[in-house]
């Protein structure tokens, strides 16, 4: 389970980078692409484990 949570957090961070314009959507694959398409920036921050602000 721990590995799965780390993978989800990593995918959320990648999706968040796209949402913030730091990388291109072409670089997203799999879970990160799905998260980018379905979640808001705030939700991505929560999954990524980053402080909200």
Query: Model confidence over 1-31: pLDDT tens digits?
Result: 455 888 889 999 999 999 999 999 999 999 9
Could you tell me the pTM of the whole model?
Answer: 0.83
Please provide the DSSP assignment of 27-50 as one string.
Answer: G--HHHHHHHHH--HHHHHHHHTP
- Inform me whether the pLDDT recorded for 53 exceeds 90: no
Packing angle between helix 41-48 and helix 30-38, nearest 10 degrees? 140
**pLDDT value, residue 49:** 86
More confident site: 36 or 1: 36
Helix H or strand E segment including 13: helix 2-19
- In degrees, rounded to 5, the angle at the alpha carbon of residue 14 between the alpha carbons of residues 2 and 16 is 110
């Amino acid at each position: 389970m721990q590995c799965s949570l780390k993978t989800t957090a990593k995918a959320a961070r990648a999706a968040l980078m796209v949402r913030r314009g730091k990388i291109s959507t072409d670089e997203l694959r799999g879970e990160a692409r799905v998260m980018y398409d379905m979640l808001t920036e705030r939700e991505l921050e929560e999954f990524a484990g980053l402080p909200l602000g």
